[in-house]
Amino acid sequence: MNKQLFTFFTILLLGIGAVRAQETTPAPTPISTPLPAEQKTPDDAQNVAPENLDGVPSIAPRYESDDRDLPDLGRVGVDMLEQRPLSLKEAITRALENNKDIEVSRQNVRLAEFDLQSFDGYYEPRFTGQTYYERATIPNVSIFSNNPTTTTNSIVGNVGLQGFIRKYGTVFNTTFSNQRVNTNNPISILSPQNSTSFVASVTQPLFRGRAFDQPRRSIEIAKRNLSLTDTQFRQRSIEIITNVQRAYWDLTFALRNLQVQRDGVRDAKEQLVHNRRLVEEGQLAPIDVVAAETQIANIEQGVYEGLETVGRAENTLKNLIATNKDDRLWNESVVPTDSVDLDAPTTTLPEALGLALANRPEIEVNNVQRDINEIDRRFYRDQNKPQIDLVASYTSAGVGGSQNPDFTNIFTQTCTGSANSPENIACLQQLQSRQAAQQQQLAILTGSSISDVFAFRYPTLRVGVQFNLPLFGNKTTKAQLGRTLVQSDQIKTQREQIEQTIQVDVRNALQSVRTSEARLRSAAIARENSEKQYASEQRKLDAGQSNIYQVLERQTALMNARSIELRSQTELNKAIADLQRATGNSLKANNVEARLRK
Query: What is the C-alpha to C-alpha distance for residues 593 and 456, in angstroms, rounded to an integer?
Result: 64
Average pLDDT, the chain: 82
**CATH number for domain 88-109+216-380+476-589, candidates 3.40.190.80, 1.20.1600.10, 3.40.47.10, 1.10.3720.10:** 1.20.1600.10
Query: What is the C-alpha to C-alpha distance for residues 587 and 578, in angstroms, rounded to an integer?
Result: 13
156 forms beta bridges with 132, 179
Query: What is the C-alpha to C-alpha distance for residues 383 and 474, in angstroms, rounded to an integer?
Result: 9
pLDDT given at position 411 = 54
Higher-pLDDT residue of 209 and 79 is 209
pLDDT over threshold 70, residue 89: yes
Burial letters 246-267, b for 16+ CB under 10 A, else e: bbbbbbbbbbbbbebbbebbeb
Query: What is the C-alpha to C-alpha distance for residues 347 and 596, in angstroms, rounded to an integer?
Result: 32
Higher-pLDDT residue of 68 and 258 is 258
Q: Are 180 and 194 in contact (CB under 8 A)?
A: yes
pLDDT over threshold 90, residue 283: no
What are residue 347's phi and psi, to 5 degrees? -65, 150
pLDDT given at position 252 = 92
* Start-end of H helices in 401-547: 422-445, 449-454, 475-542
Mapped onto helix, strand or coil, the DSSP state of residue 160 is strand
- Residue range 480-530, pLDDT digits in tens: 999 999 999 999 999 999 999 999 999 999 999 999 999 999 999 999 999
Average pLDDT (451-461) is 85
CA distances from 266 to 272, 296, 352, 464, 562 (A): 10, 9, 46, 101, 15
Closest listed residue to residue 483, CA positions, set 565, 553, 379, 578: 379
pLDDT given at position 30 = 43
Average pLDDT (141-157) is 80
pLDDT over threshold 90, residue 87: yes
Q: What is the pTM of this model?
A: 0.69
Query: What is the C-alpha to C-alpha distance for residues 528 and 535, in angstroms, rounded to an integer?
Result: 11
- Residue range 174-194, pLDDT digits in tens: 999 998 888 877 767 777 888
CB atoms near residue 582 (< 10 Å): 25
400 forms beta bridges with 194
- Rg (Cα) of the chain, in Å, rounded? 52
Higher-pLDDT residue of 65 and 588 is 588
- Residue range 218-265, pLDDT digits in tens: 999 999 998 888 888 888 899 999 999 999 999 999 988 888 888 888
pLDDT over threshold 50, residue 94: yes
Q: Are 275 and 288 in contact (CB under 8 A)?
A: yes
**DSSP-assigned letter for residue 121:** G
Lowest mean pLDDT among 259-268, 454-463, 531-540: 259-268
Residue-range domain boundaries for the chain: 88-109+216-380+476-589, 134-208+388-412+445-468
Q: Are 492 and 374 in contact (CB under 8 A)?
A: no
pLDDT over threshold 50, residue 23: no
Closest listed residue to residue 96, CA positions, set 218, 281, 240, 302: 240
Helical packing angle, 475-542 and 548-582, nearest 10°: 160
Query: What is the C-alpha to C-alpha distance for residues 234 and 105, in angstroms, rounded to an integer?
Result: 9
pLDDT over threshold 90, residue 88: yes
pLDDT given at position 251 = 93
Closest listed residue to residue 500, CA positions, set 345, 360, 347, 348: 360
- Residue range 365-386, pLDDT digits in tens: 999 999 999 999 999 999 999 9
pLDDT over threshold 70, residue 71: no
